[in-house]
C-alpha cells in the first residue's frame, strides 16, 4: 500500500497504532520518555538514517538503493515494589518484542509500507531488533526502562 507519508514517519504511524494495543501500555508518545510520564508509557523516536548501498547511474539521481532507518522504542514501568515492577516490566518488554516479530497485523502493516514520489519508490524490506534494560530507584519508587532499537531497511527503485 503506497502512502504519501515518507519513511520513517509511516513506520512511526504503524508503531503508534500497534504498540497501543499491548496490554500494560498506557499510551504511546512520539518523543523521548520523561520520568514524569505515566506508568506504562511507551515512546517512539527516530534516531538515524543511513545509506547502506548506493548505485550510480540508475537514472534516479543519487538516492541510495538501500537505506536503514533506526528507531528507538522505550517502555517505562514505575512501581513501589522491586520484584512486582520488574515482572511487569519484563512482561511488557517481551510483548513489545513479540509484537514486532510475530504479530500478524503488525507484519501485514509493515509489509505494505511504501512511499512513492515523482522520482522514487521506496518500500520496507526487513527489520531487526535489539533490546536493552535498565532499572533505578528514585524517591522510594523503582523505575524500569526497556529500550528496543529497531532497524528498518528500505529499498529505493
**pTM listed for this prediction:** 0.89
CA-to-CA distance for 138 and 45, rounded, in angstroms?
A: 24
Query: What is the predicted pLDDT for the residue at 71?
Result: 97
Question: At which residue does the C-alpha cell 509500507 appear?
Answer: 113
pLDDT in tens, 6-34: 999 999 999 999 999 999 999 999 999 99
pLDDT-derived band of residue 94, with 50, 70 and 90 as boundaries?
Answer: very high
Looking at residue 21, which CATH number applies to its domain? 3.30.2000.30
Residues 57-95 as b/e (b if ≥16 CB within 10 A, e otherwise) read: eeeeeeebeebbbbbbbbbbbbbeeeeebbebbeebbeb
Give me the chain's average pLDDT, please. 91
Instruction: Give tens-digit pLDDT for 130-149.
Output: 999 999 988 888 999 999 99
Looking at the 3D structure of the chain, how many domains does it have? 1
Domain containing residue 139: 2-156
pLDDT digits 0-9 by tens, 95-129: 999 999 999 999 999 999 999 887 788 999 999 99
pLDDT of residue 64: 85
pLDDT at 77 over 70: yes
Helix (H) or strand (E) run with residue 101 in it: helix 82-102
In the beta sheet, which residues pair with residue 74?
Answer: 43, 147
Residue 61 has pLDDT above 80, yes or no: no
Residue 59, pLDDT above cutoff 70: no
The predicted structure's pLDDT at residue 57: 59
Amino acid at each position: 500500500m503506497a502512502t504519501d507519508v515518507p519513511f520513517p514517519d509511516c513506520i512511526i504511524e504503524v508503531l503508534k497504532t500497534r504498540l497501543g494495543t499491548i496490554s500494560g501500555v498506557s499510551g504511546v508518545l512520539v518523543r523521548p520518555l520523561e520520568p514524569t510520564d505515566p506508568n506504562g508509557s511507551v515512546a517512539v523516536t527516530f534516531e538515524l538514517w543511513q545509506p547502506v548501498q548506493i548505485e550510480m547511474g540508475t537514472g534516479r539521481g543519487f538516492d541510495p538503493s538501500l537505506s536503514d532507518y533506526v528507531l528507538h522504542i522505550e517502555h517505562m514501568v514505575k512501581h513501589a515494589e522491586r520484584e512486582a515492577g520488574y515482572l511487569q516490566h519484563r512482561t511488557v518488554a517481551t510483548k513489545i518484542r513479540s509484537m514486532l516479530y510475530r504479530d500478524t497485523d503488525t507484519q501485514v502493516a509493515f509489509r505494505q509500507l511504501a512511499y512513492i514520489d515523482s522520482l522514487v519508490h521506496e518500500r520496507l524490506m526487513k527489520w531487526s531488533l535489539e533490546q536493552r534494560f535498565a532499572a533505578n530507584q528514585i524517591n522510594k519508587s523503582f523505575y524500569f526502562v526497556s529500550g528496543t532499537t529497531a532497524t528498518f531497511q528500505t529499498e529505493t527503485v
